[in-house]
Amino acid sequence: MLGTVLPLYLAGVPVQTGRTLRVLDKYTGEAYADVAVAGPAEFEAAIAAAVAAEGPLRRSKPFQRQAWLAAAARAFEARADELTAVLAAEAGKTERDARGEVGRLVDTFRFASEEAVRSYGEVLPLEVTPRAAGYRGMWKRVPLGACGFITPFNFPLNLVAHKVAPALAAGCPFVLKPASATPVSALLVGEVLAGLGRGGDGLPPGTFSILPARAADAEVLATDPRLKRLSFTGSDEVGWALKAKAGKKRVTLELGGNAAVIVDAGVDLDDVVERLVVGAYQQAGQSCISVQRILVVEAVYDALRAQLVARVRGLTAGDPRDPRHFCGPLVSEADALRLAGWIESARERGATVLAGGGRRGAVLEPTLLEGVPADHELVVSEAFGPVAVLQRVADFDAAIAEANRSRFGLQAGVFTRDIHRAMRAWDELEVGGVLINEVPSWRVDHMPYGGVKDSGVGREGVRCAIEELSEPRLLVLRDETS
């Protein structure tokens, strides 16, 4: 992609600013693309345009919004090979992972196109007391208005889709700041949206802006009162800091985690091991719901340990374009160095590295440890890489208690054949989602998705996101003869 500067999208129009950001190939470290960068003036213009678009977009009909979203989904599907190649370069994803994300991008826009025509209200009986005789009530949902979105590097297509598609379905203009490490994917989304046209049967002018920028310049998405909602996906430290600056603005935060999996006795260990490998090491572990803590009851610990160690030792990491590798690189060598340091620190404190642990540049081998101290970063913090920790627990109740001993609470997985234990896990695990006989990193894009504790506030997933981007508006009618 070198040789030309990819434009940003300001009020739906491709714009060059004269300032550029260089994007690197995450495996080779070489220059991959240059993109235009926004500053304060572009953010001001984008927010003003989004506010001006509130009325026209609110007046658009559900069938129009459905048509825009469906057309975008078809365009993404037609460009699947191109998008897959972009993800391999700027995000370091293997072809398997990249194609999976492109498929989810298409799904998310299709789900949103379906939900665009499903905004229901309710007739509300008011004559429940004598003083309300002759009154009728009803309510509908209306769009909040212009919104600000900030997305991370790890799913640079689909996590953009989870902001953009529900906003269009709900009728909310938006300004999006993508991750500086992976802005090309978001700009290609902008290219497709711009191709839907402006005015007439196309998107109202000003409906969207996609602005690569410095984090400091994007803070206005939290602080500007003209934007009605901030939706942020990223680290808990940054997310909570932005919420503190957001004032009266509504905020959705999709933050980090150190997801736990509970393995009960009596389960199919072959199946469990295969799911754990996917949950811990797919996407090079760069997912907020990647399996990080594996809590195994005493009765099956040794057997599962032997199988899992053998399986993880057979995984390889390297060039994401080489189909032999299960993992590509981390987003940067600095991240790989951080995790390598955590692994060495755990080893020095008595942990055993059962598999992996090696590093070459930004590539970290799929790694499995046991005996990690309970207060170590690999247990209490978010690793965000291909590292998992095995832990022996006495029984199922002890596993639930240990899973809850975390400041995070996004999703958890539970492998059990006991329906009562499955229901107890659903009741007692302090997380946003409990997956039975599956790893927490499994997701379908219309699911309610979000966490508790330090993992965030609010819910995404297309239908839930549309609700977060809208609000009920009541109508009361008095019969003049009453």
Residue 275 — very low, low, confident or very high, per pLDDT cuts 50/70/90? very high
- pLDDT tens for each residue of 440-465: 999 999 999 999 999 999 999 999 99
Helices 62-78 and 158-170, interaxial angle, to 10°? 160
Annotated catalytic, 172? no
Please tell me the number of Cα atoms within 13 Å of 131 on its side-chain side: 0
- Percent of the chain at pLDDT exceeding 70: 100
Q: Which of 226, 215, 289, 299 is nearest to 259 (CA)?
A: 289
- pLDDT tens for each residue of 460-479: 999 999 999 999 999 999 99
* CA end-to-end span of the chain: 71
* 260-444 maps to CATH 3.40.50.1370: no
Q: Look at residue 387 in the predicted model and tell me its pLDDT.
A: 98
Q: Look at residue 380 in the predicted model and tell me its pLDDT.
A: 98
Contact by Cβ (8 Å): 362, 181 = no
Q: What's the rounded mean pLDDT across residues 397-410?
A: 98
Residue 50 — very low, low, confident or very high, per pLDDT cuts 50/70/90? very high
Q: Which of 410, 390, 405, 403 is nearest to 454 (CA)?
A: 410
- pLDDT tens for each residue of 334-383: 999 999 999 999 999 999 999 999 999 999 999 999 999 999 999 999 99
Tell me the pLDDT of the chain averaged across its residues: 97
Residue 480 — very low, low, confident or very high, per pLDDT cuts 50/70/90? confident
Catalytic residue among 254, 365, 377, 460: 254
Give the architecture (CATH level 2) of 5-255+456-474: 3-Layer(aba) Sandwich (3.40)
Q: Look at residue 482 in the predicted model and tell me its pLDDT.
A: 61
DSSP, residue by residue, 367-387: EEEES--TTSHHHHS---SSE
Contact by Cβ (8 Å): 470, 119 = yes
* Rounded CA separation 42/49 (Å): 10
The type of residue at 346 is A
Q: Look at residue 185 in the predicted model and tell me its pLDDT.
A: 98
Annotated catalytic, 254? yes
Residue 133 — very low, low, confident or very high, per pLDDT cuts 50/70/90? very high
Q: What's the rounded mean pLDDT across residues 394-402?
A: 98
Catalytic residue among 172, 288, 327, 464: 288
- pLDDT tens for each residue of 152-195: 999 999 999 999 999 999 999 999 999 999 999 999 999 999 99
Q: Look at residue 200 in the predicted model and tell me its pLDDT.
A: 81
Show me where the domains of the chain are located: 5-255+456-474, 260-444
Q: Does 252 score more than 70 pLDDT?
A: yes
Q: What's the rounded mean pLDDT across residues 285-296?
A: 98
Structure tokens at 295: 């809590």
Residue 84: which residues within 8 A CB-CB, separation 6 or more?
95, 98, 99, 102
DSSP 18: S
* Rounded CA separation 74/237 (Å): 37
H helix runs in 147-294, sequence order: 158-170, 183-194, 215-218, 220-223, 236-245, 269-281
b/e sequence 216-248, b meaning 16+ C-beta within 10 Å: ebbbbbbebeebbbbbbbbebebbbebbeebee
